[in-house]
Amino acid sequence: MSAEPVTVTRRERARAATIEEIKSTALDLMRESGTTDIRFTDIARVMGMTPPALYRYYADRDALLTDLIADAYDDVGRTVAEARDRVPGDDFWGRWVAVTSGYRAWARREPQLFSLIFGVPVPGYVAPDEGPTTEAAKRAMRQLAALFVSAAEAGELREPLVTEVSPALAASASEKHPELDGVLSAQTFQAMLHTWSSLHGFTCLEAYGHLDWLDEPSRDSLFDTHVRSAAEAAGFPTAS
């Protein structure tokens, strides 16, 4: 028997639209100011509302930031997944390039969102434990893990360059990601974290202007060789 269709009332639609406008206004203010710190008074002023009216939609600024951070993780996860899925599933290197390039392009296109989730913490903000931001982060990071899983299942992974794994990390991998037991070895799990750290490190340097002394073609070339070296160190299949 088919489920009854969910009916959304006019009031619920209006509330959802206002919430989206609040988030959109907050992001616009971040982009204008170049900071991730926002105030309800500024949002209310732009929207033509009183600050107390915002509390009908968000309990406080931290609740709004939590929503924005979760949205940012979902946005980057969706971006890299769409880039990956435009490449045939058996083209592992092509998918690697698509995901890493998609991540870099997203950070360059959305510097405030990148800073919101990967930059200096917003003063006074503490993300809820195991809340929506944690779940959104896991969804986004699964896109990189999916590359390794598909290559492993196809028998295309080589042994990584570094094979020594501490018992603590091996136990943590099994505890935090039991779904990868029997799919990725502890050595490959560690290598996957190395590649993520390496990719993120390059992206941070570029996002915060530390590579501006290189012209854009040079940065592009450096990025290409950087992600290739990370893949080769991890035992991930690269183009011939």
Give pLDDT tens digits for 39-83.
889 999 999 999 889 999 998 888 899 899 889 888 888 998 999
If you search the block for the tokens 């070296």, which residue do you land on? 229
Which residues, 6+ apart, have CB-to-CB distance to 207 below 8 Å? 107, 108, 111, 114, 115
Contact yes or no for 36/115 (Cβ under 8 A): yes
Q: What is the pTM assigned to this prediction?
A: 0.85
Residue 220 phi/psi, 5° resolution? Answer: -60, -45
The rounded distance, in Å, linking the Cα atoms of 13 and 15 is 5
Q: Are 195 and 234 in contact (CB under 8 A)?
A: yes
Contacts of 162 (CB under 8 A, 6+ apart): 187, 190, 191, 194, 233
How close are the terminal C-alpha atoms of the chain, in Å? Answer: 53
Cα separation, 77 vs 206, whole angstroms: 20
Q: pLDDT-based confidence at 31, cuts 50/70/90? A: confident
Question: What DSSP character marks residue 115?
Answer: H
Predicted local confidence at residue 145, as pLDDT: 86
Per-residue pLDDT for 20 more than 70? yes
Nearest to 151 by CA among 112, 103, 183: 183
pLDDT (tens digit, 9 = 90+) per residue, 127-174? Answer: 777 667 777 777 877 888 889 999 999 999 999 999 999 999 999 888
